[in-house]
Structure 1
Amino acid sequence: MRSPYLIAFTVTLVSMMELLDVTIVNVAIPSLMGTYGASVDEISWVSTGYVVANVVILPVSGWLSAWFGRRRYYLVSTAVFVLASVGCAFSAELWQLVAFRVLQGLAGGGLLGISQAIIYDVFPKEKVSSGMALYGVGVMMGPTLGPTVGGYLIDTLSWHWIFLINVPIGAVALLLCWLCIGDSVNEQKPSSVDYSGFCLLALGVGSLQILLERGEHWDWMESNWTVACLLLSSFSLVGFFWWERRAANPIVNVALFHNREFLMGCICAFCVGFGLYSTLFMVPLFLQTLLAQSAYQSGLVIFPGAVASAISTLVIGKLSQENKIDERVFVTLGIVMYCYAMFLHTQFTLDSNPDTLYWPLVIRGLGLGMIFVPLTNLAMRRLPLTLISGASGVLNLMRQLGGSVGIAIAATLLTRFSWERYRLLSEHVTESSLIANGWGGVESNPLFLSLGLASHQQALALMPYLQAREQAQMLAFSMLFGTLGAVMAIGIPMVLMMRRSTLSR
């Protein structure tokens, strides 16, 4: 008899490896640009390709597991992910790196979607919260550790090791999968392949993800590419839901959304992904841009919050298992703690030092850790076991899409807020003062000129612009952190609309 806790550890290790790769590449962008002689626009496809492939495969992972058999699908996906990681490390051309990243994303999306379903299958229903708590640690820690681990590997070795680190982890995971993972008795192989549903879903979700990843670069609705992706995504997703309601063997069972708890859970998962990934994007950016921290140093600042999240997840998992406290209380309290942490983030200043940031980040981590296990239980516990695999993939998809939307909105709002604040703050700097000091008029755009090329007198004239820019960026970050807290608060009424979870399905 395989230990359910060993199985939970196995799928947690696999999922953590997959999620680590979502954020670990971000700190290697400058190194990759130098290696391949690529622009920021070109190198961004290393991240975009991975995420797009990930979200395309997530919602159909349950169907693929039933078609190929869970054990075979999980083992093959893990092996392909590790081999693709090796391919990434030894790619001679940029297109090869992007291709292997897409392969990584396709394999990794399947792993993430099935892992939760495995836990629900192997644990008795009265102990499933313990398994989900262990899995939740990996889900929360994986993306948070990415910048820290990536920064350390790049500083001490080279960028190749952000991919090669998956080899020893993957080898252990493969061995454990071979020993522990079996087929599910709750899955039945579909009698036919829903090619139309898969194509519509891939077009809809894929074009939506590309829009979110590239929208800011394309200047959103000012670009024909944006409009094309928006139209393609809209028509494809509408067509997908229309088709799936009529298909004999749908690749995603849209009847899942008839369950109120699951529907509200998906909305909450979207908000959680929004809050988790947007802050993982914005906090390191704040530390590196305004507090002059390196990628590794910013990762160390974030690390205590990740530990707090792991501890919180384990404790709440234990309390959820006892089923003495309404799990809606945990989720609501977690959202409130996250919102309070974002309020504390709005108090950051240019004089803040990393030591003063720990507690707001720890509170944020504690709040997020309180949400994962009870939210998953609320969303999925009333579903029949035959629908768990598909539901797990869709729930993970909503969290990933929430993260993508969060990052896209955060990046856009940061730029907009920065320019709005800058225009207000720079009103006191006049063109005549710059001409008098030799700048030749504002058409030289002193905001972007280097002080190293200016005389002492010119540098003094430029300082008000630079100070205004820094203050504007600081104010923009504060406004943005407040906005993220407000978006997360949307989840509270969704939670209150869900019925209390019970141990019976």
Structure 2
Amino acid sequence: MDTRQKILMITVIGAAIMELIDISIVNVALSHMSGNLGATLEDTSWVITAYAIANVIIIPMTSFLTTNLGRRNYYIGSILLFTFCSFMCGNSGNIWELVIFRFLQGLGGGALLSVSAAVVYELFPKEKQATASALFGIGIFIGPTIGPTLGGYITEFASWPWIFYINVPIGIIVAISCYFLLGEPSTAGKKGKVDWIGIALLAIGVGALQIVLERGQTDDWFEARYIVVLSVIAFFSLLFFIFWELHVDYPVVDLRVLKSKSLMIAAILTFITGIGMFTSIYLTPVFAQRLLAFSPSQTGVLLLPGSVVALIALILSGKMLQRGVSPALIVLLGFLCFIYFNWAMSQVTLDTSASYIAVSLIFRAVGMAFLTVPLATLAVSSLAPEDMPQGAAMNNMMRQLGGSFGISILNTFVARRIAAHRVDMISDISETNTIAMDRLHQLTKAFEQKGFAEIDAKLRALQLMDNVVQKQSSLLSYIDGYLLIGLFFTLALPLLILVARRQKGKLVVASADH
């Protein structure tokens, strides 16, 4: 590999890391964004889901767009779109302006992951594809791992817009480097007609479904007319999309690859992994900042120990694959780590220490390390070489789809559980509850001693008790959220049995979109 190729490899891996950092970098800044832009936390979560849903739409189209637009044109154009929208995100004056540019940023970011992988694999000869897989695997793992830490420091010591502005100089450097160094693939695909109908059906169906999931809780689900309309649109758009893609000559997403049992099961497991990956990195910072009063930088530091251990686990999982260990077995270990992480986080209280959360997050990080490469390997293990790029893209799409749906479902679930726990607690505060009445009396006396009149003292005591109820309700709802995520992983475990026998001793390295 000559110097030009080494620079190109560093450039495209750097671009992939930048894209993946942006998936999680905003998580620790949500509270600051919410306050600064005058939006609720539920509305602010659209900053995450808009990016994820754009990725879901564009990733399965990557192979199609690369073939029809040219890899070099598509990749550089995507970098420029990502960079411009990063600047506009930082410049946004309200939450919905930010969400729009975040969506467009996600459309640009989709190519930075899929095409970068293809370039890295192309730079290595066939006998060294395992090395390419390891290098890119470490790169794609670093992004979402260091994202919250980086976002925490930037938010606290600068301001939240800089988590977007930081992409601008990097994006310009990557675009210039690729302009001079990136060429077309040695084996270009055959151009076909643009599947505009497939593209439109995918965008409309997934977009409508995402809005239903995101806004349903706020607007009382099917009591709202637009939720009903969007649900019908989503159902028929996605149904017709499946029918259309199975019968058109040049599909934007070749669903025929799902005939592979291994790919189908891997896609489901990757969907569950996406739920765990995105929801845990969304819920934990919110819990740490809103209930434990951690600063953004303190929240980011919680993930550092897990990051270090996970890099070791990632290398270990690669060596296990090279020695013939079944990908299904490694995925099983990853799922068990995730299940333990969610159980551990369901035991938290308002007095939980930072060290307890950091240790729990180590299990999450190790779980991700055991799932990153093995699931991609499992997905393409039974595919013909020409179907591997589409199979890998399908697998990537399912991870992003799981993340966007997971956050929406979790938001709805947590909001409902807060209301339910609050009702339960308030119903216990009555004159028949001597403990509650004694506490109210003590607080009232304390305020009276500070000089407040009896009525004002009692009102302040009631307000203080209400704040305690609200905080405890939120804590219990977050605990329920972790248990729900853990349940998803537990219910998916039997699927591994279906592919474990087929995968004994096999190792297949994806030759494109990883």
What's the TM-score once normalised by structure 2's chain length? Answer: 0.85
The residue type paired with residue 284 of structure 1 is P
CA contact 1:213–1:404 (8 Å) conserved in 2: no
Structure 1 residue 170: Cα displacement: 2.1
In 1, Cα distance between equivalents of 2:201 and 2:32 = 37
Structure 1 residue 183: Cα displacement: 2.4
Structure 1 residue 280: Cα displacement: 0.7
Structure 1 residue 247: Cα displacement: 0.9
CA spacing shift, 1:380–1:118, aligned 2, 3 Å = farther
CA contact 2:31–2:286 (8 Å) conserved in 1: no
Does residue 329 of structure 1 match 2:313?
A: no
CA contact 1:51–1:105 (8 Å) conserved in 2: yes
Aligned to 1:340: 340
List per-residue Cα deviations over 1:366-404 (Å, max 9, x = no partner).
Answer: 111111101101111433343333333221111011112
Aligned to 1:296: 297
CA contact 1:274–1:488 (8 Å) conserved in 2: no
In 2, Cα distance between equivalents of 1:143 and 1:102 = 18
Aligned to 2:215: 214
CA contact 1:186–1:386 (8 Å) conserved in 2: no
Aligned to 1:137: 138
CA spacing shift, 1:270–1:126, aligned 2, 3 Å = farther
Aligned to 1:459: 460
Q: Give the gaps of 5 or more residues in structure 2.
A: 441-451
CA contact 1:309–1:366 (8 Å) conserved in 2: yes
In 1, Cα distance between equivalents of 2:282 and 2:470 = 21
Q: Residue 247 of structure 2: SS of its match in structure 1? A: coil
After superposition, where does 1:75-474 map in structure 2 within 5 Å? Answer: 75-91=76-92, 97-124=98-125, 127-178=128-179, 181-320=182-321, 322-430=322-430, 455-474=456-475
CA contact 2:52–2:401 (8 Å) conserved in 1: no
User: Which has the higher mean CA deviation after the structures are superposed, 46-55 or 28-37?
Assistant: 28-37
In 2, Cα distance between equivalents of 1:352 and 1:504 = 42
The residue type paired with residue 185 of structure 2 is S
CA spacing shift, 1:30–1:372, aligned 2, 3 Å = closer
User: Which has the higher mean CA deviation after the structures are superposed, 16-25 or 45-54?
Assistant: 45-54
CA contact 2:52–2:403 (8 Å) conserved in 1: no
CA contact 2:16–2:113 (8 Å) conserved in 1: yes
List per-residue Cα deviations over 1:49-73 (Å, max 9, x = no partner).
Answer: 4333322212111100111222332
Aligned to 2:444: none
Aligned to 2:70: 69
In 1, Cα distance between equivalents of 2:190 and 2:244 = 20
Structure 1 residue 245: Cα displacement: 1.6
The residue type paired with residue 189 of structure 1 is K
Q: Residue 489 of structure 1: SS of its match in structure 2? A: helix
List per-residue Cα deviations over 1:348-376 (Å, max 9, x = no partner).
Answer: 12211112222111112111111110110
In 2, Cα distance between equivalents of 1:279 and 1:370 = 16
CA spacing shift, 1:326–1:94, aligned 2, 3 Å = closer
In 1, Cα distance between equivalents of 2:161 and 2:257 = 42
CA contact 2:217–2:412 (8 Å) conserved in 1: yes
Q: Give the gaps of 5 or more residues in structure 1.
A: 440-450
In 1, Cα distance between equivalents of 2:88 and 2:2 = 33
CA spacing shift, 1:227–1:215, aligned 2, 3 Å = same
Structure 1 residue 487: Cα displacement: 0.6
In 1, Cα distance between equivalents of 2:136 and 2:95 = 34
Q: Residue 310 of structure 2: SS of its match in structure 1? A: helix
The residue type paired with residue 396 of structure 2 is N
In 1, Cα distance between equivalents of 2:99 and 2:467 = 37
Structure 1 residue 177: Cα displacement: 3.4
CA spacing shift, 1:325–1:43, aligned 2, 3 Å = closer
CA spacing shift, 1:191–1:367, aligned 2, 3 Å = closer
List per-residue Cα deviations over 1:80-116 (Å, max 9, x = no partner).
Answer: 2112222333456776644433331211122223333
In 1, Cα distance between equivalents of 2:490 and 2:15 = 31
RMSD: 3.2
